């Protein structure tokens, strides 16, 4: 299943908090990272539960699987759900992050992924670009919230990282070799967003930066 196909099959349904008791929902709730321009915020900012992460927004969704039909429905959490469930916001966020960390996130080189599709002779020169996503490659940009995964990867490479918001489905990571400027990378992101990424899949028009010395992620 490709990311595009999976996205079409995973329907986001705004506006229902009466889908499950907390005992059921707590094992199926996940954070969903989007931009303030996303329709989720534009249509649901008055009643959907969300928080901020840098200049992005985190919504919370209960994943409702229907294996026989091959469909996964993501039901967004309303603010009133916390009272209905009898839990605190912190409990909800903790459960969502715990589920996220079990959701099969990985970092792999773009070169190895391309070679797996096109053969080992493709892209023979080293390409220091990496992708971060989950096992379904759907809404995988939420891995941005797992700072320890990003910081661990930066330590392995011994470099600070440029974090490139490819889409709401994945992030690209590029070690800072000093060979490109933040402005150049942000210009690339903006151009790709306008020409190759569907509006509902866009995450941000600029890059982010992880600094090993301060252990901080920021907008450069």
Distance (Å, rounded) from C-alpha 149 to C-alpha 105?
A: 9
- In this prediction, residues 2-16 reach a mean pLDDT of 40
- In this prediction, residues 104-133 reach a mean pLDDT of 68
- Closest by alpha carbon to 106, among 70, 85, 137, 83? 137
- In this prediction, residues 3-22 reach a mean pLDDT of 48
Verify that 82 and 138 share a domain, yes or no: no
Verify that 151 and 166 share a domain, yes or no: yes
Helix (H) or strand (E) segment spanning residue 171: strand 170-175
Verify that 138 and 189 share a domain, yes or no: yes
pLDDT, residue 159, reads: 97
Verify that 84 and 150 share a domain, yes or no: no
Q: What is the tally of structural domains in the chain?
A: 2
Q: Where in the sequence is the domain holding 176, given as residue range(s)?
A: 106-218
Residue that is last in its domain, among 101, 136, 155? 101
**How many angstroms separate the Cα of 127 from the Cα of each of 123, 153, 185, 186?**
8, 16, 16, 19
Verify that 90 and 147 share a domain, yes or no: no
Verify that 158 and 117 share a domain, yes or no: yes
pLDDT, residue 72, reads: 66
Distance (Å, rounded) from C-alpha 3 to C-alpha 139?
A: 9
Mean confidence (pLDDT) of the chain = 84
User: Which pTM was predicted?
Assistant: 0.84
Number of H helices, E strands in the chain: 8, 11
Q: Where would I find the H helices in the chain? A: 3-9, 22-25, 39-44, 81-85, 89-101, 110-118, 147-157, 182-196
Residues contacting residue 206 through CB under 8 Å, at least 6 positions apart: 165, 186, 189, 190, 219
Distance (Å, rounded) from C-alpha 206 to C-alpha 184?
A: 10
Q: And the tokens for 15?
A: 């506006």
């Amino acid at each position: 299943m490709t990311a595009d196909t999976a996205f079409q099959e995973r329907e986001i349904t705004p506006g229902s908090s009466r889908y499950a008791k907390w005992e059921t929902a707590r094992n199926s709730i996940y954070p969903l990272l989007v931009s303030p321009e996303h329709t989720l915020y534009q249509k649901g900012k008055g009643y959907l539960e969300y928080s901020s992460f840098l200049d992005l927004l985190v919504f919370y969704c209960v994943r409702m699987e229907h294996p026989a039909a091959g469909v996964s429905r993501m039901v967004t959490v309303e603010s009133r759900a916390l009272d209905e469930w009898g839990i605190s916001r912190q409990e909800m966020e903790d459960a969502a992050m715990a589920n996220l960390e079990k959701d099969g996130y990985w970092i792999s080189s773009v070169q190895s992924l391309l070679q797996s599709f096109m053969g080992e002779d493709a892209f023979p020169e080293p390409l220091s670009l990496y992708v971060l996503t989950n096992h379904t490659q759907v809404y995988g940009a939420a891995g941005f919230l797992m700072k320890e995964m990003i910081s661990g990867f930066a330590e392995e490479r011994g470099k600070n990282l440029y974090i490139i918001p490819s889409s709401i489905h994945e992030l690209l990571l590029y070690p800072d070799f000093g060979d490109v400027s933040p402005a150049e990378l942000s210009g690339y992101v903006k151009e790709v967003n306008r020409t190759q990424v569907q509006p509902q899949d866009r995450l941000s028009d600029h890059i982010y930066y992880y600094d090993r010395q301060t252990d901080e992620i920021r907008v450069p």
